[in-house]
């Protein structure tokens, strides 16, 4: 089996395929009135959760089965960024206003900026200076938790899912800025040289 067709990469592809399904389920009640709107959010949250599980599982299996590949190292963060950005756009479309749009813009903007920074550092042969940090893992966990809860939206066992999720979203935005700051500090000497 080639490196691009191994099990971890297949899980990453599944995550990418689930993204349009999340969008479809999220908006389906707007077009098919016989589908109760109440279930759109929870169903989208469940699919998003499955996608989040594949994010953890593909990395675990790549290490466990010794199937890490350059293709997987490229595809995994692309799938993550697509998944997170899509969910944020869905939430902003449903809850327009600065309260959701501002943290969403911070998170999406940071992803674009750090991706560009990594690409530039890679061209200089110094990509290791902006490798994924521990803060990045906390940021990702906060983002996925926030988005699952906010997509679910309705209270679950007396837990106000949307409000708690929004708290996680704000924490994710702070961690996003913090991790970007750390990347910029690490890259600053090379930026100055140029």
182 and 133 Cβ atoms separated by less than 8 Å: yes
User: 29 with 35: CB under 8 angstroms?
Assistant: yes
What is the average pLDDT score of the chain? 85
Amino acid 30: pLDDT: 65
The model's confidence at residue 86, banded by pLDDT at 50, 70 and 90, is very high
State the pLDDT confidence band at 125, using cuts at 50, 70 and 90. Answer: low
Could you give all domains of the chain from N- to C-terminal order, each with its CATH number? 3-193 (1.20.120.1760)
Phi/psi for 65 (5° steps) reads -95, 5
* Closest-CA residue to 79 (of 64, 99, 58, 105): 58
Tokens of 88: 């944020």
Q: Which has the closest alpha carbon to 172: 94, 85, 95, 93?
A: 85
DSSP E strand boundaries for 14-121: none
Task: Give tens-digit pLDDT for 48-80.
Answer: 999 989 888 888 888 888 888 878 778 888 899
pTM: 0.86
Q: Which tokens go with 119?
A: 């690409």
Q: What is the CA radius of gyration of the chain?
A: 18
Q: Is the pLDDT of residue 171 over 70?
A: yes
d(CA 34, CA 29): 7
Q: Give pLDDT tens digits for 22-40.
A: 999 998 876 666 666 778 8
Q: 156 - beta bridge partners?
A: 159
Would you say 79 and 16 are in contact if contact means Cβ atoms under 8 Å apart? yes
pLDDT at res. 38: 74
């Amino acid at each position: 089996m080639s490196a691009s067709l191994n099990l971890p990469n297949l899980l990453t592809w599944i995550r990418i395929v689930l993204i349009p399904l999340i969008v479809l389920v999220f908006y389906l009640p707007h077009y098919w009135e016989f589908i109760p709107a109440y279930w759109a959010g929870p169903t989208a949250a469940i699919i998003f959760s499955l996608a989040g599980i594949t994010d953890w599982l593909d990395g675990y299996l790549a290490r466990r089965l010794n199937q890490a590949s350059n293709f997987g190292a490229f595809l995994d963060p692309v799938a993550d960024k697509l998944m997170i950005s899509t969910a944020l756009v869905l939430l902003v479309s449903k809850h327009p206003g600065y309260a959701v749009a501002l943290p969403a813009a911070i998170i999406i903007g940071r992803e674009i900026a750090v991706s560009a920074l990594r690409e530039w550092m890679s061209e200089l042969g110094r990509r290791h200076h902006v490798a994924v940090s521990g803060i990045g893992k906390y940021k990702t966990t906060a983002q996925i938790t926030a988005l699952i809860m906010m997509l679910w939206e309705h209270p679950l066992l007396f837990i106000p899912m949307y409000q708690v999720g929004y708290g996680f979203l704000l924490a994710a935005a702070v961690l996003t800025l913090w991790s970007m700051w750390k990347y910029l500090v690490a890259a600053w000497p090379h930026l100055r040289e140029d």
